[in-house]
Amino acid sequence: MTHIQELAIESRANKGKGPAYQARQKGLVPAIVYGGTDAPQTVSIDYRTLERAIEKGGFLTSLLMLNEGGKKTRVIPRQVQLDPVSDRPVHVDFLRLAEGASVRIAIPVHFKGQGESLGLKKGGVLNVVRHEIEMICPADHIPSEIMVDVSKLDIAESLHISAVTLPEGAKPVIRGRDFTVCSIVASSTVREEQKAAAAAAAAPVAEAAPAEGAAAPAAGAAPAAGAAAAAPAKDAKAAAPAKK
C-alpha cells in the first residue's frame, strides 16, 4: 500500500456504557485497538473525521495509521457498529498490524467481460455465487478487489476459483475445494423459448404416429359407412329373374 490514511485518536481511560455515551455526546466515537503484543486500548475518534474515512469506501479493507499525540500505530478496521436508527457509526474495532504481518480479510468480487459473454448475449443471467471471498493477504499488499472475467462463459457454465487470477500473495481461506464464484443460468424467457422450440420439433412426429394407447377396433364392430354400403345386407333377397 503506497498511502496509509492517518486518523487522530484520544486515549479513553474509562470503559463501559456510561463513558462511551459521554464520548458520543462530545462528538467522539468510542473505539478499541487490540492485537499484537500490547494490551487492548480504549480510544475515541472525532466523528466527522471517521465519517469522512468511511465515506471514501473500502474502509474495512484499508490500512490506517492511528496517531495518539505523535505515537503512531498501524491498524486495519475489523468492525464498525452503526446506530440502527441514524445509521451513524457508534463504535469501531481496530486490529494492530506489525511489519510483515498477514491478515484474514473479505475481499469484494467485481466482474468484467459481460458485453462479450456468449451466454449473456443469448439472454442468460449472471448468477453471482460469491460477492466477496475471504483471503489471507500480506498486510502491506491488501487488494481492493478481486476481478473476475466472464467473457468466455456460456449458458449453464460456471467459473471456479481455480480459474480466477488472484492478487499477488493472496490465498483463499477455503483450501482443497475448487468452489464456484459465478455461473450463467438461463432466464425464464430463454427457458420458455427452448420449450417452444422442442415442442415445435416434436410436432410432425406426433401427427404421423398413432396416438399412444389408442384402442383397436372392437370385434364385431360395425364397419365403416363406405364398407357397409358396398356389402349386401345379410338378409336381403336375391333379385328375381326377369320374365320373358
Q: Which three cell numbers stand for residue 5?
A: 490514511
Q: Which domains does the chain have, with CATH numbers?
A: 5-98 (2.40.240.10), 104-189 (2.170.120.20)
* Residue pLDDT, tens place only, 110-152: 999 999 999 999 999 999 999 999 999 998 888 889 999 999 9
pLDDT above 90: percentage of residues in the chain: 57
Q: How many CA atoms lie within 13 A of 100 on its CB side?
A: 0
243 pLDDT above the threshold of 60 = no
240 pLDDT above the threshold of 60 = no
> How much is the pLDDT for 19?
80
As a whole number, the mean pLDDT across the chain is 83
* Residue pLDDT, tens place only, 183-200: 999 887 766 666 766 777
> How much is the pLDDT for 215?
52
* Residue pLDDT, tens place only, 16-49: 788 888 888 899 999 999 998 889 999 999 999 9
What predicted TM-score, i.e. pTM, was given to this entire model? 0.67
Residues with Cβ within 8 Å of 41's Cβ and at least 6 positions away in sequence, in order, are 11, 32, 33, 34
DSSP conformation letters of the chain? ----EEEEEEE----SHHHHHHHHHTTEEEEEEE-TTSPPEEEEEEHHHHHHHHHTS-GGG--EEEEETTEEEEEEEEEEEE-TTT--EEEEEEEE--TT-EEEEEEEEEEE-TTT-HHHHTT-EEEES-SEEEEEEETT---S-EEEE-TT--TT-EEEGGGS-PPTT-EESS-S---EEEEEE--HHHHHHHHHHHHHHHHHHHHHSPPTTPPPPPTTPPPPHHHHHHSPPTTPPPPPPPP-
> How much is the pLDDT for 17?
81
pLDDT category at 227 given cuts 50, 70, 90 is very low
- Phi/psi at 229 (5° precision): -70, -35
> How much is the pLDDT for 81?
94
> How much is the pLDDT for 175?
92
